[in-house]
Structure 1
Amino acid sequence: MPTTTARRVLPQPCGELSSGVIDALGTTVGSPVSISLAGADPYGRDLHLALHTCYGLHYDAFAGVDPAWEWDPGLLGARAELERVFLAALRADTVAGTDVAHELDELLVVPDENAGVGAFLRDDGEPRHVREYFVHRSILHHQEADPYAWLIPRLRGRAKAALVAVEFDEFGGGRGERIHQRLYADLLAGAGLDPGYLRYLDVVPAPMLALVNMMSLFGLHRALRGAGVGHFASVEITSSPASRRMVDVLERLEADVACVAFYREHVEADAVHEQLMRRDVIGDLLDREPELSESIVFGIRATELLENRFAEHVLACWRADRTSLLDSLEFEGREELSMAVASVDREFRAIRHS
């Protein structure tokens, strides 16, 4: 029997923007949503927590929040202002281009094996670093593939069919226990973390919130459908080699089988998805709407921008021997707590996912 899922509580505000949105959601629908964007940091946590909370109404319900807030004109107006500041920054910080084929070829270039978060985890990573990485990424993977579903009604023909094929895999191929969001929840549990939906939102800093908000921004606006496709392609093309490196890291640390299984799934699936996205989704979309080339390039470059900001933040913290989160996790410093679990639990998980 399926269990009842408890609704999540609203996040803790961290400034005037997030307070304005979160406080409003605790009142009657139609109450004023008071925010001022004067001097707001387009990549700051206050803006992105406010925006993430607005977007959250389109995903899963908040406990005690009237669902009618989802389409409240005042809240939508406030969200539009937050989006305007964020989108303007993304456009200003990326170079415009129209050569989609070149951008896709660049994504296929093998990255420097000695740079980035993956290299740190491979060479110097400890269980605490891996757990922190899992916590950051939980904000993304708890909603994995959901924002791309908004692209489906905005595509036609072969592009639509191919994107649905990729999404079908992301959603477990019709098997609830194989949905990638579920696999990530299993990963969190296997690493000794809370698998609850967006459980760690209050400790994740701005860089990951910005990346996830970009996905929702592209998905919710038809005018940004090209950018959404560009972002999705960027993820699928780069995922397989990055996931292969994570498999190596986790096997070195003798991590729980559920942790390894999540990344191994992406090694195999995303290698196929890369061809579908490039040839069938983007190829067909550009045949139909060649004017979207600049938007597709923007989506790819905005993804690279925000992923680099995330990596820079995490690596700066780890190299300074401090947590990359806003608060230390409860097991941090307890190096005797292995990521591995008892062999009987390993066998149980292997059977469950076979």
Structure 2
Amino acid sequence: MHIPEPRGPITAELFSLLAGAPGADPDAVTALHALVAGQLPGVGDIIDDDDVQLALFCLYELHYGGLDGVDDRWEWHPGLIGIRHLLEGPFEAWLRSEAGEVTATLRCPESGTPDSDATAALLFDLAARDAGPSVSRHVAMKATAGQLREFLIHKSVYQLKEADPHTWAIPRLTGRAKAALVEIQADEYGGGHPDRMHSALFARTMRGLGLDDSYGGYVDAVPAISLASVNVMSLFGLNRRLRGAVAGHLAMYEMTSSRPNQLYGKGFRRLGFDAGVTGYFDEHVEADAVHEQIAGRDLAGGLVEAEPDLLPDVLFGAAAVSCIDARFATHLMDAWEHDRTSLRSPLPATA
């Protein structure tokens, strides 16, 4: 991915640092750590802070495909890991606070270890709650072609590497939970067929609307909330202590996917797009109807049966999806209802 344009002092200094070789200027790493520590207390809404979310996104990207022109040795540089942890602290604190309000109303078992069916029931309870305005219904009934393009651009920062954040959990699980995750991810990666990978299907959808399908091609265009929705997955996936949260996150993703994707497909067909464009959404209608059962009972439920102490984190990860999705939906619908672009700047007419 290309290095984005800075969005504040943290990203400006981070990108300047990454342009050099690891170890070439130890004082610069120390200075960046001090800068981050000084900036964070003044951050109001961390989910809406472009500088923080972009910095986290790019630090996480070092663990995925990397950044263009950046030395791969930066990935595990102790100074950068320390800076990442510094940024993750208030981000996780916000997620736990918001998710706590959601899970507080769940009727969890008062004693004993919940079996996989009981865990799945709690997750389905969460999935049934409507946490924000419905983007999928708007896409199905009202969205313009321009709004569909914006929607795909927002989603592209994750969907073009779809499944990768959750895959980090595979070596951290055992038994039934691991087998379930591998089964889900095998489908996400196309069952051995590169052209059937969900990321490849999404790229085809983007091309069908005249958009750039290169990974990170629109990272400069999307707001902080779009980056935050990906950052939460990387936070959960890259920290072993949060393996329960990544299992809950994926379970909630699968449980809340089938019906919205059906509506997304309907919206694209309404404006005349063919199966080459709608194939991504159509695939998820069928696949996720199966995945939701595997993810709820075998992945999340199997993990809780094996490690009962992880139930709170499983619920935390699941609730975090609802919190982030609600913020994203509110951002999108508020912009569209007022005839504004939901991106940081209007999409060029040539797109």
- TM-score between the two structures when normalised by the length of structure 1: 0.88
Matches within 5 A, 1:107-186: 107-109=126-128, 115-186=133-204
Deviations 1:42-88 (A, max 9, x none): 21111000000000111112221111000111111111100011011
Q: Return 232-241 or 90-99, whichever deviates more.
A: 90-99
Identity of aligned residues (%): 42
Give the match for residue 94 of structure 1. 99
Query: Which residue number corresponds to residue 28 of structure 1?
Result: 21
For the Cα contact (< 8 Å) 2:19–2:69, is it kept in 1?
yes
CA distance in 2 between partners of 1:108 and 1:48 (Å):
26
- In 1, are the aligned partners of 2:133 and 2:326 still within 8 Å (CA)? no
Which of 42, 46, 59 does residue 42 from structure 1 map onto? 46
Equivalenced residue count is 325
1:65 aligns with 2:58: no
Q: Which residue number in structure 2 is paired with residue 211 of structure 1?
A: 229
- Counterpart CA distance in 1 for 2:144 and 2:83 is 42
Does the alignment pair 1:263 with 2:267? Answer: no
Cα deviation per residue 1:125-162 (whole Å; 9 max; x = unaligned)?
11001110000000110121001111101111111111
The reply on whether 1:83 has 2:88 as its aligned counterpart is: yes
Three-state SS of the structure 2 residue aligned to 1:254 is coil
Q: Which amino acid letter does the alignment assign opposite residue 205 of structure 1?
A: P
Counterparts in 2 of 1:182 and 1:290: CA distance versus 1, 3 Å:
same
User: Distance in 2 between the 1:110 and 1:211 partners?
Assistant: 19
Select 1:187's aligned residue among 205, 223, 226.
205
The equivalences for 1:192-341 within 5 A come to 192-331=210-349
Taking the aligned partners of 1:321 and 1:328, their CA distance within structure 2 comes to 11
CA distance in 2, matches of 1:270, 1:107: 17
Higher relative contact order (CA 8 A, sep 6+): 2
For the residues of structure 1 that align with 2:54 and 2:129, how far apart are their CA atoms?
33
Query: CA 1:248–1:212 in structure 2 vs 1: closer, same or farther (change >3 Å)?
Result: same
2: distance between equivalents of 1:206 and 1:248? 28
Q: Secondary structure at the match of 2:228?
A: helix
Q: Could you tell me how far 1:110 is from its partner in structure 2? A: 7.9
Shift of 1:28: 2.0
Indicate whether 1:103 and 2:122 are aligned: yes
Which amino acid in the other structure matches residue 124 of structure 2?
A: D
2:7 matched to 1:14?
yes
Q: Deviations over 1:100-127 (max 9, x none)?
A: 4453222453859x94111222232110
Which segment is superposed worse, 229-238 or 86-95?
86-95
Runs of at least 5 residues in structure 2 that lack an aligned partner in the other structure:
109-118
Amino acid at match of 2:123: L
CA deviations 1:19-41 (Å, max 9, x no partner) are: 12211101221332313223124
Q: In structure 2, what is the Cα distance between the partners aligned to 1:231 and 1:110?
A: 15
How far, CA to CA, are the matches of 2:124 and 2:75 in structure 1? 39
Asked if structure 1 preserves the Cα contact closer than 8 Å seen for 2:180 and 2:299, the reply is yes
Structure 1 residues 141-150 or 37-46, which shifts more?
37-46
What is the CA deviation profile of residues 196-251 of structure 1, one whole-angstrom value per residue up to 9, with x for unaligned ones? 11100000001110010000000000110101000000001111111111111111
Q: Residue 63 of structure 2: SS of its match in structure 1?
A: coil
Q: Distance in 2 between matches of 1:254 and 1:53?
A: 36
For 1:121 and 1:298, how far apart are their aligned partners in 2? 29
Given that 2:120 and 2:297 are in contact with CA atoms closer than 8 Å, whether structure 1 keeps it comes out as no
In structure 2, C-alpha distance between the alignment counterparts of 1:283 and 1:105, rounded to whole Å: 12
Deviation string 1:329-351 (CA, Å, 9 cap, x unpaired) is 1128xxxx9xxxxxxxxxxxxxx
Deviates more, 1:185-194 or 1:256-265: 256-265
For structure 1, which runs of at least 5 residues remain unmatched after alignment? 1-7, 338-354
* Bigger helix fraction: 2
Partner AA of 2:194 in structure 1: G
Deviating above 6 A after TM superposition, structure 1's stretches of 4 or more consecutive aligned residues are none
User: Contact 2:190–2:198 (CA<8 Å) still a contact in 1?
Assistant: yes
Deviation at 1:256, TM superposition (A): 3.9
Counterparts of 1:80 and 1:216 in 2: how far apart (Å)? 12
**Partner SS state of residue 42, structure 2:** coil
Checking the alignment, whether the CA contact within 8 Å between 1:166 and 1:273 is kept in structure 2 is yes
Q: What amino acid sits opposite 1:51 in the alignment?
A: L
